[in-house]
């Protein structure tokens, strides 16, 4: 939309006004995220810029809030021996970071495997009730999280009771049954990692379905028939023919599923105890209880992580376009 | 391999050297079709089971509590039975008091009297202490029960306690859904409007709809210009600018909410700038956060990418030659845009707008953190019922109403855009 040479002054005025407005909107989008970065280096315990920071006084900046991330909750932050293991095991933020990655990883694996399979099935032309099934499987993305959280909390806690009762019944039989029965008797989903992983996996699947289905739209089904025709088993066809072509969709779906889990807090509030606290959960209570710049330091780290994810996604997109013979833009 | 030889255009066919007629062929074809449909279904089945057991079933189970409540009837079976025949307005009989004394002894012994008291208290506020204090001396109550209970606590003669118990004794009850829309279920089964000062839910639903609608409107107003700019700029520049949309999209909601606190609070960046430029003085800083305005600003920021991305993909598909053709036919810039370009972007506005609205209406985190009292939404209220007043039944009924509204818009989205056309990024 370059300005033509013959444009009149009115057109010129509108052209620049429009760009100015767009600039302001972009500023609105990006400024809150950028503002977090310098604020996190605040030497004071404030949530706003100090006069020293505005005057670029080096003493007004410090890494104390980053140190705080590492040491907060440690048994003995001043002792040098065993410092790292102390931080790894006891520091609050490090523990929530471990939880976030642990839960995110397994939720992503479950969501990606099940979601990809379902998307492949849903993209087949012979699939019955395609639209209805799709609407059902996408619904975790649509249902308000408070309802999902409450439902999963109630359902999982009372559902586990069923397992417990079944386990108690099974334990009567002795031998291997008794062993399994005992396990089932103590089975819990609420306030366990497994429960949070399962609920996050459900929330992540719609994204995998959407991205994988999108890559399958251009997929030539005769390739599958050709592979069958040459004697390949369905499994081999899937991994050797279909998978390489839909891989970009699978990876970006997995990234979406991961970020969904990594960012999710409502279900974690409902489902998790202190043992399963994730970063967003820790931030949530941090903002509610005592707002400190440590949260901004964590936020800065998270922004860096999302930049990394975004860059990965962009690389995948370009690779996908190159493979399909489109020149990357 | 199966060898098929077609002898003539529509005649009998030989398969593996066996001649078969049309009916047989049709049967075999149907069988093959069924098998392939079944195989496709098998691929979807694992996810379907997973979503059913860890999403659909739990939510249905939770929502069931909006119409099912046995907390009174299971603990107080005798009273429930006695109240069944009571018309809800005549003087309570001796049998009813006797049943009450029997049940109270049981719930006192197994320490569930508090639950029963809470349940009746919901129907008739102020009756909790009546139960707990009577429970303390229940063993001294003897026949005739009516006289002895009323002697102990005069309030037992109050017919409203009995009406409350009758309403509470319903296992399947429309009461919670009625309460969710500011109605009241009476003991005789009639439904009337809640007292003026207790009508809070409709107001809250309307506020939630208003906030969601305004957020959607702001997203269209802010998203349209930049989507237009992105779609018309050369690809190199637009891809760079797209990062400014995608980075917020990929950044944690908590981070963005925190950032808005830093921006909007009274000692925050915006107020500092306003003071610096002399627009306001230091003493009268604006309160931009912990109110409805804070919720609106932060939610618009968080949901804007959901608007821009579908709009952008629709606008990119509009050939620029249309606008040029309109102009060459004598249309002014405005006419060309308004009559030719804008109508083609309506699917994008629909897709983005409904998506933003659906996500906004169930929003929880941002209103909870920056909304304060007047900026909170229905989700926050549902949550506080589960966490603070522990009224899961009312929470389920409110959730049911919210889910119903969301599903209407989901259906609308499917009709207008099509769920299989949903795109991300």
Distance CA A212, CA A250 (A): 6
Phi-psi region of A175 (alpha: psi -120 to 50; beta: other; left: phi over 0): left
- Closest CB from A35, A110, A134 relative to B263: A35
Lookup result for tokens 């040098």: A80
Do B265 and A133 lie within an 8 Å CB cutoff? no
Phi-psi region of B32 (alpha: psi -120 to 50; beta: other; left: phi over 0): alpha
Q: Are A152 and A146 in contact (CB under 8 A)?
A: no
Distance CA A21, CA B217 (A): 17
pLDDT at A319 over 60: yes
Residues of chain A neighbouring B227 (CB-CB closer than 8 A): none
Residues of chain A neighbouring B65 (CB-CB closer than 8 A): 154
CA distance B17 to chain A (A): 21
Residues of chain B neighbouring A155 (CB-CB closer than 8 A): 54, 57-59, 61-62
Q: Are A184 and A169 in contact (CB under 8 A)?
A: no
Residues of chain B neighbouring A146 (CB-CB closer than 8 A): 362, 364, 379, 382-383, 399
Do A256 and B422 lie within an 8 Å CB cutoff? no
Do A121 and B253 lie within an 8 Å CB cutoff? no
Q: Are A126 and A244 in contact (CB under 8 A)?
A: no
Chain segment A124-157, per-residue pLDDT in tens: 888 888 889 999 999 999 999 999 999 999 999 9
Spell out the residues 6+ positions from residue B391 whose beta carbon is closer than 8 angstroms to its own: B122, B385
CA distance A88 to chain B (A): 23
Distance CA A316, CA B346 (A): 31
Confidence of residue B11 (pLDDT cuts 50, 70, 90): low
Higher model confidence: residue A160 or residue B423? A160
Read off the DSSP letter of residue A174. Answer: -
Residues of chain A neighbouring B40 (CB-CB closer than 8 A): 121-122, 124, 126-128
CA distance A124 to chain B (A): 7
- Residue B8 is predicted with a pLDDT of 47
CA distance B181 to chain A (A): 18
Name the closest residue on chain B to residue A317, using Cα atoms.
B425
Read off the DSSP letter of residue B185. Answer: E
Residues of chain A neighbouring B251 (CB-CB closer than 8 A): 33, 302-303, 306
Residues of chain A neighbouring B365 (CB-CB closer than 8 A): 265-266, 284
Residues of chain A neighbouring B406 (CB-CB closer than 8 A): 142-144
pLDDT at A291 over 80: no
pLDDT at A183 over 70: yes
Name the closest residue on chain A to residue B392, using Cα atoms.
A150
Q: Are B396 and B64 in contact (CB under 8 A)?
A: yes
CA distance B385 to chain A (A): 11
Distance CA B337, CA B327 (A): 9
- Closest CB from B57, B247, B382 relative to A155: B57
Query: Considering Cα of A67, then A71, then A76, then A82, what sign does the dihedral take?
Result: negative
Chain segment B55-108, per-residue pLDDT in tens: 999 999 999 999 999 989 998 998 898 888 888 888 888 888 889 988 988 888
- Closest CB from A49, A110, A126 relative to B36: A126
Identify the residue among A2, A23, A32, A281 best suited for mutation to test binding to B, counting B beta carbons within 10 A and taking the highest. A32
CA distance B189 to chain A (A): 29
Spell out the residues 6+ positions from residue B132 whose beta carbon is closer than 8 angstroms to its own: B113, B114, B117
Distance CA A218, CA A257 (A): 23
**Alpha helices, DSSP H only, in A72-124?**
83-90, 92-122
Confidence of residue A329 (pLDDT cuts 50, 70, 90): very low
Spell A2-32 as b/e; 16+ CB within 10 A means b: eeeeeeeeeeeeeeeeeeeebeebbebbeeb
Distance CA B89, CA B190 (A): 13
Residues of chain B neighbouring A310 (CB-CB closer than 8 A): 243, 246-247, 250
Per-residue pLDDT, averaged over A94-102, amounts to 93
CA distance A61 to chain B (A): 17
- Residue A2 is predicted with a pLDDT of 64
- Residue B59 is predicted with a pLDDT of 96
Residues of chain B neighbouring A156 (CB-CB closer than 8 A): 54, 58
CA distance A70 to chain B (A): 19
Q: Indicate the helix (H) or strand (E) that contains B114.
A: helix B113-123
User: Cβ–Cβ contacts within 10 Å for residue B408, how many?
Assistant: 11
CA distance B94 to chain A (A): 39
pLDDT at A245 over 50: yes
Q: CA end-to-end span of chain A, whole Å?
A: 17
Distance CA B75, CA B106 (A): 8
Residues of chain A neighbouring B69 (CB-CB closer than 8 A): none
Distance CA A184, CA A162 (A): 9
Distance CA A194, CA A103 (A): 8
Q: Which of A198, A163, A202 is nearest to A271 (CA)?
A: A198
Higher model confidence: residue B139 or residue A260? A260
Distance CA A194, CA A200 (A): 10
Chain segment A257-267, per-residue pLDDT in tens: 999 999 999 99
Confidence of residue A1 (pLDDT cuts 50, 70, 90): low
Q: Are B425 and A309 in contact (CB under 8 A)?
A: no
Lookup result for tokens 């709809």: B209
Mean of per-residue pLDDT scores for chain A: 87
Distance CA A293, CA A261 (A): 24
| DSSP β-ladder status, B191-193 and B183-185 | antiparallel
Do A256 and B424 lie within an 8 Å CB cutoff? yes
Contacts 24+ apart (CB under 8 A), A129-132: A130/B420, A131/B414, A131/B419, A131/B420
Confidence of residue B15 (pLDDT cuts 50, 70, 90): low
Name the closest residue on chain B to residue A144, using Cα atoms.
B362
Per-residue pLDDT, averaged over B135-158, amounts to 84
Spell out the residues 6+ positions from residue B361 whose beta carbon is closer than 8 angstroms to its own: A144, B208, B209, B212, B377, B378, B402, B405, B406, B409
Q: CA end-to-end span of chain B, whole Å?
A: 45
| Crossing angle for the helix pair A9-39 and B235-250, to the nearest 10 degrees | 40
Contacts 24+ apart (CB under 8 A), B11-15: none
- Closest CB from A46, A139, A152 relative to B58: A152
Q: Residue B55 is encoded by which pair of tokens? A: 């999403």
- Closest CB from B53, B65, B248 relative to A33: B248
- Residue B425 is predicted with a pLDDT of 53
Per-residue pLDDT, averaged over B355-364, amounts to 94
- Closest CB from B54, B252, B255 relative to A202: B54
Distance CA B369, CA B377 (A): 11
| Apex A34 CA angle, A97 and A27, nearest 5 | 135
Name the closest residue on chain B to residue A49, using Cα atoms.
B269
Confidence of residue A243 (pLDDT cuts 50, 70, 90): confident
Chain segment A35-70, per-residue pLDDT in tens: 888 888 888 877 777 777 777 888 888 888 888 888
- Residue B61 is predicted with a pLDDT of 95
- Residue A58 is predicted with a pLDDT of 81
Confidence of residue A195 (pLDDT cuts 50, 70, 90): very high
Distance CA A259, CA A140 (A): 15
Residues of chain B neighbouring A135 (CB-CB closer than 8 A): 410, 414, 419
Name the closest residue on chain B to residue A154, using Cα atoms.
B62
Spell A271-291 as b/e; 16+ CB within 10 A means b: bbeeebbbbbbbbbebbeeeb
Confidence of residue A83 (pLDDT cuts 50, 70, 90): confident
Chain segment B198-219, per-residue pLDDT in tens: 889 999 999 999 999 999 999 9
Confidence of residue B1 (pLDDT cuts 50, 70, 90): very low
Distance CA B200, CA B55 (A): 30
Do B58 and A310 lie within an 8 Å CB cutoff? no
Per-residue pLDDT, averaged over B142-170, amounts to 86
Helix, strand or coil, per DSSP, at residue B128 = helix
Mean of per-residue pLDDT scores for chain B: 88
């Amino acid at each position: 939309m370059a300005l033509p040479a013959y444009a009149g002054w009115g057109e010129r005025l509108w052209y620049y006004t429009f760009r100015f407005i767009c600039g302001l909107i972009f500023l609105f989008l990006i400024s809150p995220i950028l503002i977090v970065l310098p604020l996190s280096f605040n030497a004071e315990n404030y949530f706003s810029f100090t006069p020293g920071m505005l005057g670029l006084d080096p003493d007004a900046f410090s890494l104390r809030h980053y140190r705080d991330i590492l040491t907060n909750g440690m048994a003995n932050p001043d002792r040098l021996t065993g410092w790292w293991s102390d931080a790894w095991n006891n520091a609050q933020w490090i523990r929530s970071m471990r939880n976030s990655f642990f839960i995110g990883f397994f939720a992503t694996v479950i969501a990606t495997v099940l979601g990809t399979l379902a998307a492949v099935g849903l993209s087949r032309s012979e699939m019955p009730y395609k639209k209805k099934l799709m609407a059902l499987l996408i619904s975790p993305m649509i249902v308000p999280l408070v309802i999902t959280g409450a439902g999963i909390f109630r359902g999982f806690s009372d559902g586990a009771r069923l397992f417990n009762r079944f386990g108690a019944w099974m334990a009567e039989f002795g031998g291997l049954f008794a062993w399994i029965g005992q396990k089932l008797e103590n089975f819990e989903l609420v306030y366990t990692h497994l429960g949070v992983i399962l609920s996050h996996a459900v929330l992540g699947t719609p994204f995998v379905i959407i991205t994988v289905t999108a890559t399958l739209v251009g997929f030539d089904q005769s390739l599958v028939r050709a592979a069958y025709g040459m004697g390949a088993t369905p499994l081999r066809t899937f991994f050797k023919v279909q998978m390489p072509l839909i891989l970009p969709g699978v990876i970006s779906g997995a990234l979406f599923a991961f970020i969904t889990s990594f960012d999710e807090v409502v279900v974690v509030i409902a489902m998790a105890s202190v043992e399963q606290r994730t970063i967003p959960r820790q931030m949530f209570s941090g903002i509610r209880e005592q707002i400190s710049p440590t949260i901004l330091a964590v936020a800065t780290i998270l922004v860096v992580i999302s930049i990394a994810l975004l860059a990965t996604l962009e690389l995948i997109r370009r690779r996908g376009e190159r493979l399909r013979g489109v020149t990357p833009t | 391999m199966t060898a098929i030889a077609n002898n003539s255009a529509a005649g009998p066919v030989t398969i593996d050297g066996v001649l078969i007629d049309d009916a047989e062929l049709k049967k075999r074809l149907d069988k093959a079709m069924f098998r392939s449909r079944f195989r496709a279904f098998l691929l979807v089945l694992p996810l379907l089971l997973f979503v059913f057991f860890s999403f659909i079933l739990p939510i249905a189970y939770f929502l069931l509590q909006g119409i099912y409540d046995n907390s009174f009837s299971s603990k107080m079976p005798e009273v429930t039975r006695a109240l069944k025949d009571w018309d809800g307005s005549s003087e309570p009989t001796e049998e009813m008091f006797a049943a009450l004394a029997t049940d109270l002894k049981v719930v006192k012994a197994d320490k569930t009297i508090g639950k029963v008291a809470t349940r009746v208290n919901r129907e008739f506020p102020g009756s909790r202490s009546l139960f707990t204090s009577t429970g303390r001396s229940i063993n001294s109550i003897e026949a005739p029960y009516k006289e002895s209970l009323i002697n102990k606590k005069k309030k037992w003669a109050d017919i409203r306690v009995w009406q409350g118990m009758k309403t509470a004794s319903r296992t399947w009850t429309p009461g919670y859904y009625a309460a969710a829309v500011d109605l009241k279920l009476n003991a005789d089964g009639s439904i009337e409007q809640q007292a003026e000062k207790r009508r809070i839910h409709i107001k809250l639903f309307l506020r939630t709809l208003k906030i969601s609608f305004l957020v959607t409107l702001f997203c269209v107003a802010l998203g349209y210009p930049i989507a237009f700019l992105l779609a018309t700029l050369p690809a190199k520049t637009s891809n760079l600018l797209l990062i400014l949309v995608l980075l917020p999209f990929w950044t944690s909601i908590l981070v963005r909410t925190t950032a808005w606190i830093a921006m909007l609070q009274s000692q925050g960046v915006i107020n500092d700038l306003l003071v610096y430029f002399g627009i306001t003085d230091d003493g009268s800083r604006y309160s931009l956060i912990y109110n409805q305005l804070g919720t609106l600003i932060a939610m618009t920021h968080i949901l804007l990418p959901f608007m821009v991305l579908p709009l952008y993909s629709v606008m990119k598909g509009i050939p620029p030659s249309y606008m040029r053709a309109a102009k060459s036919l004598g249309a002014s810039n405005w006419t060309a845009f308004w009559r030719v370009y804008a109508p083609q972007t309506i699917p994008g506005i629909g897709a983005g707008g409904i998506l933003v609205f659906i996500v906004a209406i169930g929003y929880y985190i941002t209103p909870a953190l920056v909304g304060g009292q007047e900026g909170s939404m229905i989700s926050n209220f549902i949550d506080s019922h589960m966490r603070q007043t522990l009224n899961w039944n009312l929470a389920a009924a409110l959730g049911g109403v919210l889910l119903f509204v969301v599903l209407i818009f989901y259906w609308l989205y499917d009709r207008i855009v099509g769920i299989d056309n949903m795109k991300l990024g």
